[in-house]
Amino acid sequence: MPTITIDDKKVEFENGMTVMQACELAGAEIPRFCYHEKLSIAGNCRMCLVEMEKGPPKPVASCAMPAGDGMVIKTDSEMVKKARKGVMEFLLINHPLDCPICDQGGECDLQDQALHYGFDKSRYEENKRAVKNKHMGPLVSTIMTRCIHCTRCVRFSTEVAGVDDLGLLGRGENAEITTYLEKTIDSELSGNVIDLCPVGALTSKPYSFKSRPWELTKTETFDVFDGVGSSIRVDTRGKQVLRVLPRINEDTNEEWISDKTRFAIDGLSRQRLDKVYIKEDDKLKVSDWDSALNKIKDEINKRGKDKTISLSGKFTDAETIIASKLFSQGLGSDLFDCRFDNAQIIHGENESYKFNSSIQEVENADAILLVGSNPRWEASVLNARIRKAFIDNNCKVGLIGPSLDLNYSYDKISESLDELNNILDKKSKFSEVLFNAKNPLIIVGTSAINTNEGSSVLKICAEIAKKLPNFSESFNPLNILNQDISRVGSLELGFVNKIFDEDLEKKLKEEITLNKPVVFLLGLDEINPRSLEGSFVVYCGHHGDVNAQHANIILPTPAYTEKSSTFMNIEGRTIQTSRCHNPLGDAKEEWKIFRVLSDLLNCNIEFNNLNDVRKKLINENNNFLAILEINNSSTLSFSSKEQIKNQNLSYNINNFYMNDSISRSSETMANCTHEILNKAKAS
């Protein structure tokens, strides 16, 4: 391997590295503003200057200089120190120095580096330049006089988010970062420019003037707003979540999060259920836990223990699932399910509901077949991987489904699922692309499998996958993109019943008409309330959403930031969230509710604390034991050549910003819907 000398220390480096990367290998800290590992190199700020022996008689920008064998670099010479001080002085010529009122204060790269490389006073007496603030929508606040033109935001928007809304206009002192036509940034990842901005030019509009970073309690946890399970940090003060930031995790979200993950948190404090309610005289009235639980006991005994039904929602954790399942089985009932959208699976085959190839593998693909999936709305950070594959590998993307506004080019194959037959028989134009690719993938959305043809779609997609060149015992190119964080874990725990396979709402209505049972809704608001008529509904949830209004009893439960929970992401990777603050009001964790009910109904489910619940979880499925690991198979034994009827698709997400109980309660998400989606439809 080639070697380079950094401050009299020899280090080996890989070909293609820059001098800056080689310096980091040697342990030398290089200041920077414009450079970012995930973005293209700009070389704008010049803070990363180093001295190169036998090179130019001036400092060189280490971020843009390729490392060469035998180079001798100095990072702390007098020339370097003087150059960096000069650069810092130039950067501060027009900066307003308004740190006391800046939301970036305490987390500002400019503050930190000015301390080390700046002068104690400025030599410039000219008037400072002022720049008008730009309108970037309801999420990003702008104070553009602070901007140092590093262009990180421009490069992120263009390269990662895939929207050309941001750009640099003008030259020299007249240069400005702007949205061209003063329009809202039309991207589900727009909030990441806030993290990328090294100064306070771009800050969070909902978080403006809320707190200082040192006032906040910081908790590392995971996101629950989609199936990816992005690594995040939740910052709280008391019982209020003030902001959410991404954590680096190359396996899932890299260092990005979606705007919903970041900004829907104001919904955690709105429309919350924090009291027990019992419906009397057709009105919900505040009650207490003892009265409610005894009422539930009486109703279950009256209506039949073995007829009790449990249905889970978008945010239902694995602890709740296993507690509910054991409780139902203790009553003699197996009427439980998690597929409120009628998504079909192949029973006993976990490959029929997992993202089998892994999220990280997406960026290596050179051909992707999307079947009934809108990844831009279903999993925004996963879609960023597809775009990366499109840019880096010239990945060809084919779509079966209605046209989409994706941030990369794709071939519209058909809107009908029967085109899968032609792809398998190599009669489709995209067949040649798919079967001749080196690393092809198939991504099937739940919109494709929540139809009557759902199981056939899975079988024929599995058949196509087995014929792809990269299918092997160690690699499975078939991927199911579940939209909800609860789905894979629930299916792994067997929280399904074949009776609900074809049409859950229809079968549910039949059961209710026949038996009039007690129905537990575990945070489920995505089911038509009319299908519950005649039953005794117990709603366990944290928001007063659709079905809470129709419940006979409401039991308040904590939101995802208020408890430690286990989930399994789309890959089958087990993650555990952390409690960030105490629950609101009288909320109690779901497993505690089922534990008390089991005593009242004499069906002991034998756990007394969270550790006991997790032992039951692991006993049911030992995949929950391996935290953050993937344990997927690659057999696709359920594959077959199915004949799919002409079946047109429609996507089951109509609004990215408000498609769950938390985001529907969010004022920020309502503003995004109004300013981004509604304006887009109007135009």
Residue 262: pLDDT over 90: yes
Residue 184 has pLDDT above 90, yes or no: no
Q: How far apart are CA 454 and CA 85, in angstroms?
A: 64
Q: Which region among 119-128, 143-152, 228-237, 421-430 has the lowest average model confidence (pLDDT)?
A: 119-128
pLDDT digits (tens, 9 = 90+) for 596-622: 999 999 988 889 999 999 999 999 999
Model confidence pLDDT, tens digit, residues 342-357 = 999 999 999 999 999 9
> Which of these, 230, 157, 143, lies nearest to 193 by C-alpha position?
157
pLDDT value of position 173: 78
Q: For residue 566, list its beta bridge partners.
A: 576
pLDDT attached to residue 300: 97
Q: What's the pLDDT at 392?
A: 94
Confidence band, pLDDT 50/70/90 cuts, at residue 320: very high
Residue 683 has pLDDT above 60, yes or no: no
pTM above 0.85, yes or no: yes
Instruction: Read off the DSSP letter of residue 401.
Output: S
Give the model's pLDDT for residue 680: 61
Q: Span 650-656, mean pLDDT?
A: 91
Binned at pLDDT 50, 70 and 90, residue 682 comes out as: low
Q: For residues 157 and 192, is the Cβ–Cβ distance under 8 A?
A: no
H or E stretch at 260? helix 259-263
H/E element, 140: strand 140-142
pLDDT value, residue 681: 61
Helix, strand, or coil (residue 595): helix
Residue 59: Cβ within 10 Å count: 22
Q: Is a pLDDT exceeding 70 seen at residue 15?
A: yes
Q: How far apart are CA 167 and CA 452, in angstroms?
A: 47
What is the DSSP pairing of strand 49-52 with strand 60-61? antiparallel
The average pLDDT across 667-677 equals 92
As a whole number of angstroms, the distance between CA 355 and CA 228 comes to 10
Helix (H), strand (E), coil (C) string for 287-345: ECHHHHHHHHHHHHHHHCHHHCEEEECCCCCHHHHHHHHHHHHHHCCCEEECCCCCCCC
| DSSP code for 232 | E
Cα gap 135→149, rounded to integer Å: 17
Contact between 127 and 143 under an 8 Å Cβ cutoff? The reply is: no
Q: Residues for the chain: how many in total?
A: 683
3-state secondary structure of 414: strand
Closest-CA residue to 336 (of 518, 484, 514, 588): 518
Q: State the pLDDT at residue 298.
A: 96
Average pLDDT over residues 144-163: 93
Least-confidence region, from 54-63, 369-378, 513-522, 610-619: 54-63
DSSP string, 48-63: TEEEETTS-SS-EETT
Rounded Cα gap, residues 232 and 256, in angstroms: 9
Tens of pLDDT, residue by residue over 436-454, are 999 999 999 999 999 888 9
* CB-based burial label for 459 (10 Å; 0-12, 13-18, 19+): buried
